[in-house]
Every structure is written in structure tokens, then in C-alpha cells.
């Protein structure tokens, strides 16, 4: 009998958000709303559709393994050398490449928790230890929702090879500011690679939250990870990229690249999207405005909602989380629960968000045994 590695057998399966069409059929309703995966609510950019149509006739050939055109476009956009750029089939794949490139079994990866759920799984597959540092409240008396950078620096030991700082943090949406982040980077040993995971950077409006690319410059042990799945609307095509101050870091990650994993269509779409930056900025502005409206509406209902710098909001519901998420789903609204902790809700269109708010009002009115006080305090439900 063939047996997988114990670390792999122990891994929980990744659970994507439910398909809204399936839920609608199950509930017998015309439409369900998915606010679970942090996608933007806009169709593909016109330039992207044109690039896909123009490139479709080339899909009988392997893609450019080096993604030369995309690499050059990214290098020009960020003012770096192409040798510092590593495109990949989504930011998650690049996270995996980072672990493969720098972690031997027995070494360690440090990160805040809760943060991006793939970090501990990457460590598990690599045979590395997970150094998890609990979040702290971003406001006095609030729920834990932001990085404890002093605590993160303190856990880094001689075996640590990677530190992930998700900024803004997924799933809480909070972001650490320049002074704290600069102090943290100055404390981390130069032998440890700090990866600033900025999947939601385009949605940041707080001027005190620094651009990781700026902080990277002059720091050879810092790299920046970004994605085109969110603001750029390419979630279905899987395009991410890494920028490294030290070209040797980029070279190491490039060596663990799965050949031809960045598809021809994905490369063409990414280049076209980069050329549509002004249109993307307009879409981001609309998401940010709706984020502010949704946050105000939730706070007006007496709910604790931290300031989000991403395209989602976080409701720290504690033990009520799973029940609230299930009740919302029963009303055709799919959100992302983190059992015992909180609910992550993607910013959708105004119509979608109004449907969510209406469903939430039904849930908190006690229609399913849940009271408004239960939700506001995170008390167990049912």
C-alpha cells in the first residue's frame, strides 16, 4: 500500500467558497451572492478580453517559460531590474516556491496568526516549524486583529528562514504602519528573508501604510509579494509576482518554478491589465467607497468592524461565527467564516452588499435563534 507523508496526510483540505449557482439551486432561489473570495465585482477589463482573444490561437504552443514580456512590464512599472522580478502562477504558488527555496526540514517560518491560511500549510509541507504570533487589538479594548511586530521579531530564532508579513492582513483587513514596520525590518537578522505579502496593496488608502517596494529598497533580505487576482481582476487566470531587492533571492525562487506554469493567456492578460492602470484605479476607488459605506452600515448596527485597508471587512464574531455564516448562507449570501474567530465579508456591488445587510438583519433579529446581542458580543448561538 502506498502511503503519503504523515505531514501531507495531516493537512486539512483547502475549502474554497461555495459556488453561488449551486447554492441558488439548492435553496430554490433565483440568485445567491458570493462575498467569500475577495474577488472584485467587475467583469474583465476590455483590454484583457482583447488580449485573450488575440492570444487564443497560440495555445497549441507552450507558454514563454521566462514570461519575458510580463517580467519587463513589471520591472518598468516598479523601477527595478528584470532580474529582481519573478512572475508566477498566482501568489500562493510563489509562497510555495519561497518555502521550497529557503526552508529545509527542521527550519522555521514565522507569521502572525490569524493571517493568510496557507502559511502554516506551506510550513507543514516543507517540514518546517510554524512560529505563530497571535494578533493584537488595533484599537483599545478591541478584538485581536493586527500584527504584533515586536512579538514577531522576538520569535525569530537561528532556524528561521522566512517571515511573512501580510499587509493588509488577510482576513482582518488591518494594516501596520511605516514606523512599526521599519523598526521590525531593522530588527530581523539579515539571514532571514522577510516577505511583505501585499495582495491587497491597491486598496490601501491610509497614507501611513507604506508601499513595501519602497521599504524593500536597500534591504537585501526583503521581498514583496503581490497578485493580479484582486484589484486587477485576473483571479481566474492566476498571476502573481515577487519583487526582491537581492537578485539572488529572485534567482532562488525562479529555480523552483514549475516549468510552463504561467499560461500564455495569463501572461497576455496580465500585460494588458498593466496597460489599463487608470481604469483599474477607477475600479479600486469604487470598491473603497463601497467598503466605507459597508463599514459604516455595520458599525451603525452596533457591530465591531476594524478599519479595513483591503477589499473586505472583518466581523470578529467569536463563537457566533459559524452559526451566523450558516444562517446567511441559508438566505443566499455566501461569506467566509473562520470558526470561533470571525467572518470575512468581501466588498461587493452596492446591491450585493445591501442583500448581505438585509440577510444579516434577519439573522440578528432572532429569526434563527440568533439575537443581535449574540452577534455583537460573539456569544455562542443556538
* pLDDT, tens digit (0-9, with 9 covering 90-100), for 182-204: 999 999 999 999 999 999 999 99
**pLDDT at 302 exceeding the cut of 90:** yes
Position 40 in a domain:
no
**pLDDT at 376 exceeding the cut of 80:** no
Q: What is the pTM of this model?
A: 0.94
Give the separation between CA 113 and CA 203, rounded to whole angstroms: 22
pLDDT-based confidence at residue 382 (cuts at 50, 70, 90): very low
**pLDDT at 367 exceeding the cut of 70:** no
Residue the block writes with cell 537581492:
246
Mean pLDDT of 93-100: 97
**pLDDT at 342 exceeding the cut of 60:** yes
- The range of the structural domain enclosing residue 284 comes to 6-31+278-377
Give the separation between CA 196 and CA 242, rounded to whole angstroms: 10
Position 51 in a domain:
no
pLDDT-based confidence at residue 69 (cuts at 50, 70, 90): very high
pLDDT-based confidence at residue 292 (cuts at 50, 70, 90): very high
**Do the Cβ atoms of 202 and 172 come closer than 8 Å?**
no
At 378 the pLDDT is 56
Q: Is residue 236 located within the same domain as residue 135?
A: yes
Strands 144-146 and 160-166 turn out to be: unpaired
Range with lowest mean pLDDT among 13-27, 232-246, 287-301, 314-328: 13-27
Q: Which of 275, 306, 327 is the last residue of a domain?
A: 275
Position 46 in a domain:
no
83 DSSP 8-state letter: G
Position 62 in a domain:
yes
Range with lowest mean pLDDT among 14-28, 115-129, 132-146, 299-313: 14-28
**pLDDT at 371 exceeding the cut of 50:** no
* Ordered DSSP codes for 4-22: --HHHHTPPPP-PPPPHHH
For residue 339, give the CATH number of its domain: 3.90.1150.10
Beta carbons within 8 Å of 61's beta carbon, 6+ residues apart: 264
**pLDDT at 377 exceeding the cut of 70:** no
Q: Is residue 85 located within the same domain as residue 175?
A: yes
Give the separation between CA 309 and CA 326, rounded to whole angstroms: 26
Beta carbons within 8 Å of 195's beta carbon, 6+ residues apart: 95, 98, 162, 163, 164, 165, 222, 223, 224, 225, 242
Closest alpha carbon to 345 in 172, 167, 113: 172
CA atoms within 13 A on the CB side of 192: 26
Q: Which of 231, 255, 275 is the last residue of a domain?
A: 275
Mean pLDDT of 10-22: 82
> Can you say how many angstroms the Cα of residue 19 is from the centroid of all Cα atoms in its chain?
19
Instruction: Tell which phi-psi region holds residue 302, choosing left (phi > 0), alpha (psi between -120 and 50) or beta.
Output: left
Closest alpha carbon to 65 in 264, 235, 252: 264
Q: Is residue 132 located within the same domain as residue 261?
A: yes
At 374 the pLDDT is 58
Give the Å distances, CA to CA, from 223 to 213, 246, 250. Answer: 8, 8, 9
Position 304 in a domain:
yes
Q: Is residue 174 located within the same domain as residue 301?
A: no
3-state DSSP percent of the chain in helix, strand and coil, to 5? 45, 15, 40
Give the separation between CA 129 and CA 304, rounded to whole angstroms: 33
At 15 the pLDDT is 73
Give the separation between CA 376 and CA 316, rounded to whole angstroms: 9
Q: Is residue 100 located within the same domain as residue 189?
A: yes
Q: Is residue 241 located within the same domain as residue 268?
A: yes
For residue 195, give the CATH number of its domain: 3.40.640.10
Q: Is residue 200 located within the same domain as residue 295?
A: no
Position 185 in a domain:
yes
pLDDT-based confidence at residue 379 (cuts at 50, 70, 90): low
pLDDT-based confidence at residue 12 (cuts at 50, 70, 90): confident
Number of domains in the chain: 2
**pLDDT at 381 exceeding the cut of 70:** no
Closest alpha carbon to 297 in 277, 279, 309, 313: 313
At 373 the pLDDT is 59
**pLDDT at 368 exceeding the cut of 70:** no
Q: Is residue 227 located within the same domain as residue 158?
A: yes
| Own/partner pairs, 185-189, CB within 8 angstroms, 24+ separation | 185/215, 185/219, 185/222, 187/153, 188/153, 188/156, 188/163, 188/221, 189/156, 189/221
Give the Å distances, CA to CA, from 83 to 76, 238, 325. Answer: 12, 21, 45
Q: Is residue 104 located within the same domain as residue 232?
A: yes
Position 351 in a domain:
yes
Mean pLDDT of 278-284: 98
Q: Which residue has the higher pLDDT, 381 or 55?
A: 55
**Do the Cβ atoms of 335 and 343 come closer than 8 Å?**
yes
**pLDDT at 100 exceeding the cut of 80:** yes
Position 44 in a domain:
no
Range with lowest mean pLDDT among 119-123, 360-364, 374-378: 374-378
pLDDT-based confidence at residue 352 (cuts at 50, 70, 90): very high
**Could you give the residue ranges of the DSSP H alpha helices within 210-332?**
212-216, 247-255, 264-274, 277-300, 321-329
Give the separation between CA 15 and CA 197, rounded to whole angstroms: 21
Q: Which of 212, 243, 275 is the last residue of a domain?
A: 275
Mean pLDDT of 249-254: 98
Q: Is residue 250 located within the same domain as residue 351?
A: no
Strands 136-137 and 129-134 turn out to be: unpaired
Mean pLDDT of 271-282: 98
Q: Is residue 305 located within the same domain as residue 175?
A: no
Mean pLDDT of 50-73: 97
Percent of the chain with pLDDT over 70: 96
At 309 the pLDDT is 98
**pLDDT at 369 exceeding the cut of 70:** no
Q: Is residue 207 located within the same domain as residue 354?
A: no
For 131-147, the pLDDT digits (tens) are 999 999 999 999 999 99
Handedness of CA 22, 28, 31, 37 (dihedral sign): negative
**pLDDT at 164 exceeding the cut of 70:** yes
Mean pLDDT of 237-245: 98
Cell of 300: 451603525
Amino acid at each position: 500500500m502506498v502511503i503519503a507523508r504523515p505531514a501531507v496526510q495531516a493537512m486539512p483540505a483547502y475549502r474554497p467558497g461555495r459556488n453561488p449557482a449551486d447554492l441558488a439551486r439548492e435553496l430554490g432561489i433565483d440568485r445567491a451572492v458570493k462575498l467569500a473570495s475577495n474577488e472584485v465585482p467587475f467583469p474583465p477589463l476590455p483590454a484583457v478580453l482583447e488580449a485573450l482573444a488575440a492570444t487564443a490561437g497560440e495555445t497549441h504552443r507552450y507558454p514563454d517559460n521566462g514570461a519575458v514580456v510580463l517580467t519587463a512590464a513589471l520591472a518598468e512599472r516598479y523601477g527595478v531590474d528584470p532580474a529582481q522580478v519573478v512572475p508566477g502562477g498566482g501568489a500562493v504558488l510563489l509562497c510555495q516556491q519561497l518555502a521550497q527555496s529557503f526552508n529545509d526540514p527542521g527550519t522555521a517560518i514565522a507569521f502572525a496568526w490569524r493571517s493568510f491560511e496557507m502559511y502554516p500549510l506551506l510550513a507543514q509541507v516543507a517540514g518546517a516549524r510554524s512560529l505563530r504570533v497571535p494578533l493584537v487589538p488595533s484599537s483599545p479594548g478591541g478584538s485581536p486583529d493586527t500584527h504584533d511586530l515586536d512579538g514577531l521579531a522576538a520569535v525569530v530564532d537561528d532556524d528561521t528562514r522566512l517571515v511573512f508579513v501580510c499587509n493588509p492582513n488577510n482576513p482582518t483587513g488591518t494594516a501596520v504602519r511605516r514606523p512599526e514596520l521599519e523598526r521590525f525590518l531593522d530588527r530581523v537578522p539579515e539571514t532571514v528573508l522577510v516577505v511583505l505579502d501585499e495582495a491587497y496593496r491597491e486598496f490601501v488608502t491610509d497614507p501611513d501604510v507604506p508601499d513595501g517596494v519602497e521599504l524593500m529598497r536597500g534591504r537585501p533580505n526583503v521581498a514583496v509579494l503581490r497578485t493580479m487576482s484582486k484589484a486587477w481582476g485576473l483571479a481566474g487566470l492566476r498571476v502573481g509576482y515577487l519583487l526582491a531587492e537581492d537578485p539572488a533571492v529572485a534567482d532562488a525562487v525562479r529555480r523552483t518554478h514549475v516549468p510552463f506554469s504561467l499560461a500564455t493567456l495569463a501572461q497576455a492578460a496580465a500585460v494588458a491589465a498593466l496597460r489599463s492602470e487608470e481604469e483599474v484605479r477607477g475600479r479600486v476607488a469604487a470598491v473603497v467607497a463601497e467598503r466605507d459605506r459597508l463599514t459604516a452600515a455595520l458599525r451603525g448596527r452596533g457591530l465591531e468592524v476594524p478599519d479595513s485597508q483591503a477589499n473586505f471587512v472583518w466581523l470578529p464574531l467569536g463563537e457566533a461565527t459559524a452559526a451566523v455564516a450558516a444562517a446567511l448562507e441559508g438566505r443566499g449570501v455566501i461569506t467566509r467564516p473562520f470558526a470561533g474567530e470571525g467572518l470575512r465579508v468581501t466588498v461587493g456591488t452596492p446591491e450585493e452588499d445591501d442583500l448581505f445587510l438585509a440577510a444579516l438583519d434577519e439573522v440578528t433579529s432572532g429569526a434563527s435563534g440568533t439575537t443581535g446581542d449574540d452577534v455583537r458580543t460573539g456569544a455562542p448561538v443556538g
